[in-house]
Amino acid sequence: MLFTEVTMKHLTRTQNRPGSLWDFMNDFERAFDTALTDRTSGAPTMARFNPAVDVDEGDDHYLVSMDLPGVKESDIKVDVHLGQLTISGKRVQETKKENSDGRYFERSFGSFQRSFTLPQEVDSDKIEARFENGVLEVFIPKAEKAQARTIKVENAKGGLFSRLLGEKSKDDNKEH
């Protein structure tokens, strides 16, 4: 999946632009994958797993749901770094040795990675993920909105500015 912005207010996901150069590249990759198919078994030597994702927005949260059938919980990783939510993992093909004349595969296996740019309004410290029945759900709470408040104006004696700037009090200056 390559970079196009589809936003639900502020949550951005990446995907292909219809009719773009990326579609051509995806078609090329599919043709390349077909060329690398094992002619005897029909099994692709390089398969890609591209899980489907839904993004839903509620009043106080976003919910990212990803279909991951056949993926083990231990093979899923969810990271948040510099305003970017990244879900990655792998679906491993179990090898079965059977006495048959051939095999045909439509399911894809391999590594995957999806990234989402998080809006500034989320509380990234409270993001939670759960995996059940082949579906990963990532709950992304929105941060509480900043409330207006009045700032007290203090005199120049002491306070934060004096501590930060290392200003000496009038009494300290008289001693020298």
Q: What was the pLDDT predicted at 70?
A: 87
Phi, psi of 146 (to 5 degrees): -65, 135
Q: Cα(37)–Cα(39) distance, rounded to whole angstroms? A: 6
Q: Which fold has domain 5-169?
A: Immunoglobulin-like (2.60.40)
Task: Give the model confidence (pLDDT) of 56-74 as tens digits.
Answer: 999 999 999 999 998 999 9
Domain residue limits, the chain: 5-169
Beta pairing partners, 135: 67, 132
- Provide the token pair at 78: 């969810």
Is residue 101 predicted with pLDDT exceeding 50? yes
Query: pLDDT category, 40, cuts 50, 70, 90?
Result: very low
